[in-house]
């Protein structure tokens, strides 16, 4: 449909499988502000993250909030941010933190 997509993951096995299938993907941590600043963000319309909320329970910080803050802090990024939520309460929390679109893949 004329869309260009770049995947980001920190699992090298997933990277290899995607590359074998011809999917544009790079290795990196999407919640690392220094990594995000290296991405080609000029003209990007959407950042879509399916990072589940259980990472927040492990890291004690919600990586989705880090994503929102990082992207909003980069002047070259003029797009919108879509994030996955697990339930209505989670969705409300992300919307309050200025996510542009919330999707709930498990509902």
pLDDT tens, residue by residue, 26-72: 999 888 889 998 998 988 999 999 887 655 555 567 889 989 999 99
The overall average pLDDT reported for the chain is 89
What is the per-residue DSSP string for 29-75? -TT-HHHHTTS--TT--EEEE---THHHHHHSS-HHHHHHHHHHT-T
């Amino acid at each position: 449909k004329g869309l260009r997509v770049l995947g980001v993951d920190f699992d090298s096995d997933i990277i290899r499988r995607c590359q074998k299938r011809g999917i544009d993907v790079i290795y990196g941590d999407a919640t690392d502000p220094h990594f995000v600043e290296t991405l080609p963000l000029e003209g990007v319309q959407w950042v879509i993250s399916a990072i589940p909320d259980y990472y927040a329970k492990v890291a004690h910080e919600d990586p989705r909030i880090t994503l929102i803050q990082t992207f909003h802090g980069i002047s070259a990024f003029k797009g919108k941010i879509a994030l996955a939520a697990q339930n209505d309460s989670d969705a409300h929390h992300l919307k309050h933190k200025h996510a542009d679109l919330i999707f709930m893949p498990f509902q």
